[in-house]
Structures are given as structure tokens and as C-alpha cells.
A and B are shown apart, each in its own frame.
Chain A
Amino acid sequence: MGFQVTDASGKLKVSVVANTLLSNSDTGAQNNWSPGIGDDTLISWSGASDMTVTGFAAGTSGRRLRFINTGSKVAYFSHQSGSSSAGNKLRNTVTSSSTPVAAGGTAAWQYDGTDWRLVAHEQGALISVPYAAGNFTGNAAMTWTVDAGDQITYSYAIVGKLIFVFFALNTTTVGGVVDLELRIALPNGFLAVSTTVPAAIRSYDNAVDTVGFCGTVATLGYIRCWRGGFSAWAASVNNTAVQGLLVAEV
């Protein structure tokens, strides 16, 4: 508990808050999370598996909560989740999906009387996306098969409202009715805010090595990759690759 002293005009003269230091290892879904939050709390978290926090309990105006990930798993913090009660919800910078704090990362929220408002965030380590075949598709009737061993790099970081996605997908297979776009899911369910100006990537299209482009589409959850020249990808067996870095607002 803390207390404040104000003068006759209401100006703050003295403010004393108690510091609370917590170690925590909760995992899984945490609704209305209540690890023992005080007026000024630092939580050192090291869960054995990932955690998703949808809201914090015990919000009072001005309360500060700082979170540091001292472990190796990822803590995700949901924006305005319906799984936590009104008054306990988080208001994050990124709104289309949860904000991650990976190994070595930190985040801080302050209660504004309505929500816990994110006031600082540093993700820490890049987050590698686990392989899932469904993360990779072709547009229209084109098929794109990316096997687990083809996913050399697929990782991301959130910085402010921006996502940085690093990808290197080698020896992949293109089939069906060939078309223009090989699509990579934006990690963690993020949705692009805008249709971005294309960024350069390496497009290796059935042995044709060119500079291609990638970008996002407003409100949609994928990166679209074009080969150089914006023509259709060639059908190939284990002979198509895309490598690059996408930066987009999410």
C-alpha cells in the first residue's frame, strides 16, 4: 500500500508507494491474473511453458506493473480480451493479437482507471514460429508445400506497432495452377494494418534466382511473396525458395 500527501490546492507533495518484487512461474491461460500485484510491482517470470495473460486483477489508478521474462518461454499479453473482466483488461499498443515478451524481454503497464495500459515493451529474443504446414499457402488454385525441414528461418519481433518477420524457406514445392503469390502467415495471428509497399526478397523460382518482393494486405494475416517481375511462380519440386525480412504495421 502507498499514500500521497497533497497541499491545499491538490498538488502532490509526497507520494510513497511500496515496491513489490515477485517471482512467478505460472503457465497456460491466465485470466484476471492475480500474482500479488501491489502499487509498484516487478514480476520476474520464468514459466516452464508459455503463458497467455488476458488481464490483471487489482487495478487501481496509477498502479504500475513491470514484467521481466527471466526464463526461456514466451509470455503473451492479450489486448482487450473478453476472457478477463471489465476493469482488468489490457490496452496494448498492438491490437490485432497478443503482445509477446520472450526471453530477456520486459513490459510495463499502468492502470489508468479503466484498463491496464501498456507503457513500455521490449520483446527480448526473437520468437521462432513452430512449423505448421498451414502457415504456407499459394493464392487461388496454386499449392505451396513447405516441409518442416524447409523452414530454415521463420521468426519475428514486435517493436512498437511494427512486426519484423524473418523468413528463409528453401527447397519448397509449388504445384496446382501456378499463380502470383506465395503466402506466409503472419505469426501469432497478427493482422496487417495496411497494404505495404513491397520489400525486396530473394526469390528462387525453380532455379531462377531473382530479386522478388513481399508485402502485406490491410486487415489480412499473411505476407505475400512475388517472384521477380511479378509473373507467376513456376511449378517446381523441392526447387523454390523465398528469403527475406518483412516489416509491417500490425
Chain B
Amino acid sequence: MSFYQAFTSARATEPDPGSLLAQLRALDATAGVQHDPGPNYVIKKNSAWLPGHITAAQNVIDTAPAVTAQLLAQNEIDHWPVATKALVLALIDQLNVIRAALPTPLPPITPAQAIQAIRNKAGTL
């Protein structure tokens, strides 16, 4: 079964789509968003909407961070295609070879650390 709930938000900015979805999915893992720029939202999920769900979802819609170039970039990094990940991680592999060969070897950078560092950098640009 699918259940839809319409929302209207008075917020003055568009929410970051990645953040909005993540926060709604924290409330319900089956949440999906129907939204075009503007005040109207429809949220779909696979269980019935109860008053508490509606209040929580309305709060997420009203308070999710506004879209920015940095957040969009982080969302893009989170969903990089395989080719881009391969490029980055191959370079990290080579960097780790050098780090291990230093007079005082440094520990390897893990793939997760590398991606997180890029993500963090995007957030600061």
C-alpha cells in the first residue's frame, strides 16, 4: 500500500534535495518526495500517515537546510559513478605506496577517509 500526504511550506528557500530526502528517510525508510520548486510537497510512504508523522515530516520540510552549491556537490560525491571513484581511489593507492615508503612510514588512507576528505573539502569551497 502507498500513502500520500500533501504539505505546504512557507519557507523562503528551496531545501537541499539530498538532505530533505535523508531526513525524511530517517523518519520512514520508505519515504519518497514529489516536489518541484515552490511551496508544495507530496510525501509518499508505505504506511498510513498518523498525526505524529505529519508533524515530523512538516518540520523536516520547513527546516531542512537550504540548497547550496556545497551541499549539491556533496550529494553528487555521495553518488559518484564507478569511473570517478576508480580515478580517486587509484590515486589514493599510489599515495599509500609513497606513504608506506617514507623513512617514517605513515598509515594508509582508507577509501572511506579519502572520500570523506573530498566531501569535506567540497563543503568548504
Contacts and interface: CB of A to CB of B under 8 A. Distances in A.
Partners in one complex: yes
Main SS at interface, chain B: mixed
Contacts of A152: 34
Interface residue range, chain B: 10 to 19
Interface residues of A, number: 14
A216 B18 CA distance: 32
A170 B32 CA distance: 8
B120 interface: no
Highest count of chain A CB atoms <10 Å: which of B32, B44, B45: B32
A78 B99 CA distance: 75
Q: Label chain A's interface by main secondary structure.
A: strand
Contact of B2 (A147, A207, A209): A147
A147 B79 CA distance: 26
B29 interface: yes
A239 B32 contact: yes
Nearest to B43: A171
B109 to A, nearest CB: 25
A147 B4 CA distance: 11
5 contacts: A149-B44, A171-B34, A207-B75, A229-B81, A238-B31
Interface of B: 2, 4, 17-18, 21, 29-34, 42, 44-46, 75, 79, 81
List 3 tightest A-B contacts by C-beta distance, closest first.
A238-B32, A171-B32, A208-B79
